[in-house]
Structures are given as C-alpha cells and as structure tokens.
Structure 1
Amino acid sequence: MKKIIAISLIFAVIILSACVSNTPPICFNQARVGGMIVDIPIFEIHNAKSNPAYLSGGSFGYQWDNKGSFMDTRQCDALAQ
C-alpha cells in the first residue's frame, strides 16, 4: 500500500512540474492592483508603432496587455528600443 502511495505521489509531482514556467521574465512593469503597486513580469514585447503590447502573466497563464495597463514601463521600454 505504501508503495502505491509513493508511486502516485511521484507521478503527481512529475505531472505538476510541467506547469512551472522555465522561461524567466525579460523585464518587469509596474501596475496598481488592489491599491498596491506590484511588479508584473513581462515575457515578450510586441513593438507597435505607437502602442507596444507586453506578454505578461505567471506560470499558469499569459495575456497581452497594452502600455496603458501599466503605471511604469520604463524598464521594458529601454529593452524595446
């Protein structure tokens, strides 16, 4: 019985480890969330002429956000040029 539980636990750890992002963020933008200023990890920058888009998110989901979604984008803007 203990062997079955141990094998099940190892299998679950292997499956769940696939959910972790291996790509580190290239920079961080700041946004106000719930009244607090937080650093949002940015994984990719799409340079449009006047309105860049940032691929932001965490290990379980990403989304494209425009520049207006953030308070401070200086760190990522320096990389985009």
Structure 2
Amino acid sequence: MTIDIDELKNLILDAAEKEEPDGGISPDEVLFGEESRLDLDSIDALQISMAIQQRYGIRLSDSKETRRAMASLQSLAAFLSQ
C-alpha cells in the first residue's frame, strides 16, 4: 500500500485538531517533542492512532516502534506502507 503524504498530513491535523503551521509541514519534520511546531502530545498520538486505524485499517500499538514511526510524516508513511 502506498500512503499519500498530503493525505496523511491532513489526517493528522484533523485528528489532533491542529492548524498547519506557517510554511507547511515537510515530510521529515519532527511531529512530537520539543522540536515539533505542532505541539502534539500523548492524547494527540492516541487520536491520530485511532484515525489511522479508521482510515487505513492498521492498528498502532503503544510501542517504541510506533513512537519511532510517528516521528515524522515520512517515517509514518513508510511504516504504514509495510
């Protein structure tokens, strides 16, 4: 399965109820943590996981692998494509 980065970005923004920051979000931009311009937290991660499960039928567990996958749009798209 190929994951469209823009579709994934919109899903994340919608699920977390966030606005896209000025200049947009690059595919390799950090989504969580101090470096993130989106200011996503653990509640956002849960909402994003649920949205991914609804849209793509892929259940994300609360694991280190999932946290690494959610580091950026690019890493999440690659993880979901496997």
Same fold, judged at TM 0.5 (above): no
TM-score by length of 2: 0.24
Of structures 1 and 2, the one with the larger relative CO (CA 8 A, separation 6+) is 2
Which protein has the larger Cα radius of gyration, Structure 1 or Structure 2? 1
TM-score by length of 1: 0.24
- Tell me which protein shows more helix as a share of its residues: 2
- Tell me which protein shows more strand as a share of its residues: 1
